Amino acid sequence: MTHLLHLDSSARRTSFSRELTARYAATWQGTRTYRDLAADPVPVIGEAWTEICDALLTAGITDPAHYTDVVGTPAHKQAWAIVEPLLAELLAADVVLIGAPMYNFSIPAALKTWIDQVTFPRMSLRGKAFVIAGARGGTYAPGTPRAPFDHHERYLRDFVAGHYDVDDVRFVHAELTNALVDPHLAAREGERAASREAALKAL
């Protein structure tokens, strides 16, 4: 049976990205692990984590099953106690579903912290699929004036494909969400609603 790792990272308990991931998860035909990175934040990496990475590089270890070979000091063990359950969830997943709103042209700090904790040198996740559901206050679609400021999808796509060696990465975005609250975008409410409906349908 296929397994889904479902991550949400929006600081809002009711958010567009959470609505999108919930739609996808509701159709999932398999087992699922859920983690709310905003409600239960992952600690930032510390020096012991960097020492583990350095030791993996020095030893040439790329198989996650042997990562613990370099976990030796009490500080390393303390750092690994944080990493171990997060990494196990990631490795067990066939599909990783990420709710990722755009914050300040990029991703939420809560999501970046998770990425930092579970990412190690030359780590391949080939064979897994990633589905990323985004929400943006404006529009950053190709050809729009703000497209060059999209360090949200671009970062996640480059990272997942480039570092994790994953070729199945799919993005669905609800755009112009600020049309609900920003008077300057009020005239684009129809576009916002259409973008949301299209995203829900795609998921």
User: How far is 122 from 149, CA to CA, in rounded Å?
Assistant: 28
> What kind and span of H or E run contains 16?
helix 16-26
For residue 82, being part of any structural domain is answered with: no
Count of structural domains, the chain: 1
Is 49 inside any structural domain? Answer: no
Asked, for residue 59, whether it belongs to a domain, the answer is no
Averaged pLDDT of the chain? 96
Residue 174 domain-assigned (yes or no) = yes
d(CA 133, CA 170): 9
Residue 54 is assigned to a structural domain of this protein: no
Is 10 known as a binding-site position?
yes
Residue 15 labelled as part of a binding site: yes
Q: Which residues pair with 77 in a beta bridge?
A: none
Distance CA 12, CA 101 (A): 10
- Write down the pTM of the prediction: 0.94
Evaluate whether residue 80 is within a structural domain: no
157: in domain: yes
* 104 carries a ligand binding annotation: yes
Tokens of 14: 């009711």
105 in a labelled binding site: yes
Domain membership flag for residue 182: yes
What is the domain-level CATH number for residue 176?
3.40.50.360
Query: Tens digits of per-residue pLDDT, 45-74?
Result: 999 999 999 999 999 999 999 999 999 999
Domain that holds residue 11: 3-41+91-202
103 annotated ligand-binding residue: yes
CB 131 within 8 A of CB 172: yes
Q: What is the pLDDT of residues 147-175, one digit of tens each?
A: 898 999 999 999 999 999 999 999 999 99
Q: For the residues 190-202, what does the mean pLDDT come to?
A: 94
171 is known to lie in a ligand binding site:
no
